[in-house]
């Protein structure tokens, strides 16, 4: 990751082929339209940004043909040298979590990118099979910590008997998993860029922070600095709609990516 960020900057671009975007691109609401959308994004972003984040749900919505498109997106992006974060938000227990880990974090699986998003809300320890698989295959996990949706606060900001918020306990668990890593370990966090306040201490994390909400959802570079501090090293702002609205022309998508990357250099 460090090499990719040094070469291309910290921007993560999402591939979110939801029905509204397919329609605005003049594409059919089926697997064929999905494939055209997704492969246009691959052509536009591959080799141009550090990290691309396909949202698995929009592919799964088209059944097996949609999942096949996701597999191709992952393979083509990796062939281009671009890191792939599969936004699947998986989380379960025992053998089920081990199966998710095999699907998204094990070499040879067609769904394995370079990292996957995961939900820790069955207990951070439930993610152990994924942590072990990531460490064994040189991949990463981005664990949901503080999301920007209003419903999330009732769980994530709740305070436990030890006086810590649930979100802080997730941060601390991720920090323990990354202990001794230099500069960053396998476990990153997802923290919404549009939050009004952070309210957690990330100083011991030693991991990357994925910050969705940059661009169309309203977060700016100034907001990122206000939330995470002036040093944004390790913060990966994510933009999806703000870039994707410029499709379907590949040149316009690339120009949009370049504009967002320049804004992050301010």
Q: What percent of the chain has pLDDT over 90?
A: 90
Lookup: tokens for 246: 């410029």
Beta strands in the chain (DSSP E): 12-15, 51-54, 83-90, 115-118, 140-146, 187-191, 209-212, 235-239
pLDDT tens digits, residue range 188-206? 999 999 999 999 999 999 9
Domain annotation for the chain: domains and CATH numbers: 2-263 (3.20.20.70)
Question: In the chain, which residues have pLDDT < 70?
Answer: 216-217, 266
DSSP SS3 for 108: coil
Q: Distance from CA of residue 61 to its chain's centroid? A: 19
Asked if 30 and 15 count as a contact pair (C-beta separation under 8 A), the reply is no
From the list 81, 137, 135, 79, the residue with the least C-alpha distance to 109 is 137
> Is residue 89 annotated as part of the catalytic site, yes or no?
yes
The whole-number pLDDT of residue 216 equals 65
Query: Where would I find the H helices in 178-249?
Result: 221-228, 241-244
117, exposed or middle or buried, with CB in 10 Å at 0-12, 13-18, 19+? buried
Active-site residue among 3, 89, 245, 252? 89
In this structure, the number of other CB atoms found within 10 A of the CB of residue 196 comes to: 9
Cα gap 119→141, rounded to integer Å: 10
What global pTM score does this model have? 0.96
Place of tokens 């991949």: 139
Q: What is the pLDDT of residue 177?
A: 97
């Amino acid at each position: 990751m460090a090499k990719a960020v040094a070469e291309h900057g910290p921007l993560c671009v999402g591939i979110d082929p939801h029905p509204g975007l397919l329609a605005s691109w003049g594409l059919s609401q089926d697997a064929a339209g999905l494939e055209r959308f997704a492969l246009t994004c691959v052509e536009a972003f591959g080799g141009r940004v550090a990290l691309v984040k396909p949202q698995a749900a929009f592919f799964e919505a088209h059944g097996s043909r949609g999942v096949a498109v996701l597999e191709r997106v992952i393979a083509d992006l990796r062939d281009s040298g671009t890191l792939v974060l599969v936004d699947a938000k998986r989380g379960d227990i025992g053998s089920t979590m081990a199966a998710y880990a095999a699907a998204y974090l094990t070499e040879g699986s067609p769904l394995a990118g370079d990292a996957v998003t995961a939900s820790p809300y069955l207990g951070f320890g439930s993610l152990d099979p994924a942590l072990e698989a990531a460490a064994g295959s040189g991949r990463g996990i981005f664990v949901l910590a503080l999301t920007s949706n209003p419903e999330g606060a009732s769980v994530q900001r709740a305070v436990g008997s030890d006086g810590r918020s649930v979100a802080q306990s997730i941060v601390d668990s991720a920090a323990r998993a990354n202990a001794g890593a230099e500069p960053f370990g396998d476990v990153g966090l997802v923290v919404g860029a549009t939050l009004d306040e952070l309210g957690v201490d990330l100083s011991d994390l030693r991991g990357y922070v994925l910050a969705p909400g940059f661009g169309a959802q309203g977060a700016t570079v100034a907001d990122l600095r206000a939330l995470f501090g002036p040093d944004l090293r390790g913060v990966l702002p994510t933009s999806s709609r703000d870039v994707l609205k410029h499709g379907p022309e590949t040149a316009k998508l690339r120009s949009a990516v370049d504009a967002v990357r320049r804004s992050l250099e301010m």
